[in-house]
Chain A
Amino acid sequence: MATELGPTPVKAPASGGTPVHHAPKGVGEDNKILSQGRWASWLLAPTIIALAVVIVYPIISAIVMSFQKDAGLDPATGLFTAGGSAGLQNYVNWIAQQCAAPAGGTVACPPGTLGGQFWSATATTFIFTVITVTLETVMGFWMAMIMARTFKGRSLVRAAVLVPWAIPTAVTAQLWLFIFDFQGIANKIFNASILWTGSEWPARWAVIIADTWKTTPFMALLILAGLQIIPAEVYEAAKVDGASAWQRFRMITLPLVKPALMVAILFRTLDALRMFDLPYILTGGANNTTTLSILVINQVRQGFNAAAALSTITFFIIFLVAFIFVRFLGANVVEQSGASAKGKK
């Protein structure tokens, strides 16, 4: 606790003779940390055990399953096979878009089958992610900037942005399905006659618009929280020094809000990569709106093990994106949230 005041670096001669720059801990403090550690493990045990049961166990069994053959009729012999080890075959089948051939071996999956949709589903997932996260970041930033100003009715606006967030996604999907109906209000307002769910890009835009509507508020609130920790004096000082509004935004707002912004973008990106509810209900995955999550769900009833391989690939993709964010783009989530009570001020 004494370290809170910022310890004066004590040069303690270590065994190698090199000075170390941290205060040596007393024996008492060591004991304290040890006993706190014991306490902590008791307190954390229920959560860790629960998460191990509901998350770690399913992941491991999914990975095990993904290396197994699906039970079914062997197309070569016409006999029922009970499965057995498949090696990497399930993964290869998805990535190379190969299906089991009647004559044995594999052939390119015929169009329309699930096996032939891996790359289009991946592309769709990334298209949705990039467009929605970009739109949500830009609009969210704008909304946050407005909400950070003082004006009459500000609390009304802050309350209103919570409404789309509070509506369940399943309801949101049905609502936008109705809005985008051929005879619906969207066509009426824009005086258009678009069959929104009838072809590729209109269907995609329907999903993108609905998602943007639903999740921009979340983004705006996260960014607003980041904006509010910037002290007003910094802006005052910049104003006195003659910085223009654009300069103030670029030199003060952006760098200071960046940590919060990166975390918000990371959260949204990972969320968008697993998008399921909206396209599943809104378009049913038709017209190239099938995301990876939808493809997994469609596969589950046709073969667990192939589905497990696909879900493992999906998990890996999401993990990879998170890794890139944390490693290269400086979205330091744990540190952002984990700055200990000690580290404060």
Chain B
Amino acid sequence: MTAATTELRAQQDRGRKAAQNREKWAQARTYISALVILIWCLAPAYWMVVVAFREVGFTYDTSFFPTHVTLDNFITAFDTSFGNRFGQALLNSVFIGVVVTAVSLLIGVFAAYALARLNFKFKFLVLGFILGASMFPGVALITPLFQLFTNIGWMGTYQALIIPNISFVLPLTVYTMTSFFREMPWELEESARVDGCTQGQAFRKVIMPLAAPAIFTTAILAFISSWNEFLIASQLSSDATQPVTVAIANFAGAQPQQIPYTAIMAAGTIVTIPLVIVVLVFQRKIVAGLTAGAVK
């Protein structure tokens, strides 16, 4: 009898231990996997920053940690003596990005409101059209635009870069904002009316504060996609209007056959760091915006 009890207890103990071990092992595997993801995602970006701070003479130094640290590459990146116009390109990118984002939001916010809040015929058709537009290949635009802008003398102007960009950014804006608006507690608007607010007050005091984060997140996503655009800009921009993506792709060094990697990595770091900071600060919102519409 007692022997059987001890036996049973021992068995239970063994079972618990095995379960604990399994649990521990599963935890360990999770951490190892998480570490692998971290390294895979961050190592190349880390390498860019390390090389950006490395002396030109040690471009091909492959030690993992920062060596021969210098700030020279950042000066070289802005140097215009080899025909690079990185500083100008930064300004161009900011300008184009701000205009494209502002226009897209201004137009898109109405469409998003209609799609999220109103019932009307052809709603799915309109949604389908906007989604189709966001999946549209840029090359299909480039040929007619190239000819059109050549004919009317717009080649290399800012508007020649802004207008095609709107074709990518506007559908994205409408799409993202529609999903955000759908999630908003619109009943509050009616409650505010019941509580004695005028329609204007209800909109200003209840809806605006609720919609602001959604609009702000959409603005970030819109700006990033305009900032990253390369195809159209590589064909339609001039030296004076080129955005950073084109400037970095065409970055020239002192010797034509030698790619000035350290300066390019410095330029890349300058272009990327503000973006990464914004993205990390607004991480939750950005992820919500990115995945909006794909689920739910």
Contacts and interface: CB of A to CB of B under 8 A. Distances in A.
A252 interface: no
A9 to B, nearest CB: 21
B114 A304 contact: no
Contacts of A149: 30
B135 A322 contact: yes
A297 B139 contact: yes
Contacts of B171: 51
Interface string B152-192: 00000000000110110011001100110010000000000
A174 interface: yes
A39 B57 CA distance: 65
A104 interface: no
Given A159-B280, A276-B231, A293-B231, A48 B126 contact: yes
Interface stretch (B5-13, B76-84, B222-230): B222-230
Nearest to B287: A221
Interface in B102-126: 107-108, 110-111, 113-121, 123-124, 126
B42 interface: yes
Contacts of A175: 44-45, 47-48, 265, 268
Given A175-B268, A334-B128, A296 B30 contact: no
Interface centre among B27, B38, B45, B144, by most chain A C-beta atoms within 10 angstroms, is: B144
Contacts of B31: 151
B120 A178 contact: no
Nearest to A263: B294
B65 interface: no
Q: How large is the interface on B (under 10, 10 to 19, 20 to 34, 35 or more residues)?
A: 35 or more
Contacts of B271: 168, 171
A169 B228 contact: yes
Given A37-B120, A213-B44, A296-B143, A146 B110 contact: no
Interface in B7-65: 27, 30-31, 33-34, 37-38, 40-42, 44-45, 47-48, 51, 60, 62
B248 interface: yes
Contacts of B138: 274, 276, 293
Interface centre among A48, A55, A293, by most chain B C-beta atoms within 10 angstroms, is: A55
Contacts of B216: none
Interface string A289-322: 0001100110010001001100110110010001
Contacts of A123: none
Contacts of A181: 60, 261
A218 to B, nearest CB: 7
A318 B286 contact: no
Interface string B229-245: 01100110000000011
**Dominant secondary structure of chain B at its interface with chain A:** helix
Given A50-B166, A167-B45, A311-B142, A43 B231 contact: no
B246 interface: yes
Contacts of B136: 55, 315
A317 to B, nearest CB: 9
B143 to A, nearest CB: 4
A201 B137 CA distance: 26
B130 interface: yes
A51 B130 contact: yes
A177 interface: yes
A225 interface: yes
Contacts of A173: 249
Contact of B37 (A50, A157, A222, A260): A157
Interface centre among B171, B244, B295, by most chain A C-beta atoms within 10 angstroms, is: B295
Contacts of B133: 51, 55
A175 B42 CA distance: 13
B213 interface: no
Interface in A209-227: 213, 217-218, 221-222, 224-226
A176 B44 contact: yes
A235 interface: no
A267 interface: yes
Given A162-B287, A222-B294, A151 B34 contact: yes
B94 interface: no
B92 to A, nearest CB: 14
A28 to B, nearest CB: 14
A307 B40 CA distance: 39
B182 A341 contact: yes
B201 interface: no
Interface centre among A169, A170, A308, A318, by most chain B C-beta atoms within 10 angstroms, is: A170
Contacts of A225: 287, 291, 294-295
Given A47-B108, A164-B45, A311-B140, A170 B246 contact: yes
Contacts of B130: 47, 51
B174 to A, nearest CB: 6
B45 to A, nearest CB: 5
Contacts of A226: 294-295
Contacts of B206: none
Interface in A115-163: 142-143, 146-147, 149, 151, 153-163
A48 B133 CA distance: 11
A337 interface: yes
A40 interface: yes
Interface string A328-344: 00000111111111101
Nearest 8 A/B pairs, CB to CB: A337-B293, A170-B245, A225-B291, A54-B167, A43-B114, A47-B111, A37-B120, A274-B137
Given A55-B136, A184-B60, A280-B234, 9 more contacts: A37-B120, A43-B114, A164-B44, A168-B228, A174-B265, A188-B62, A293-B138, A308-B144, A344-B182
11 contacts: A51-B170, A54-B141, A166-B276, A167-B275, A168-B230, A168-B245, A170-B230, A222-B291, A277-B230, A280-B234, A341-B117
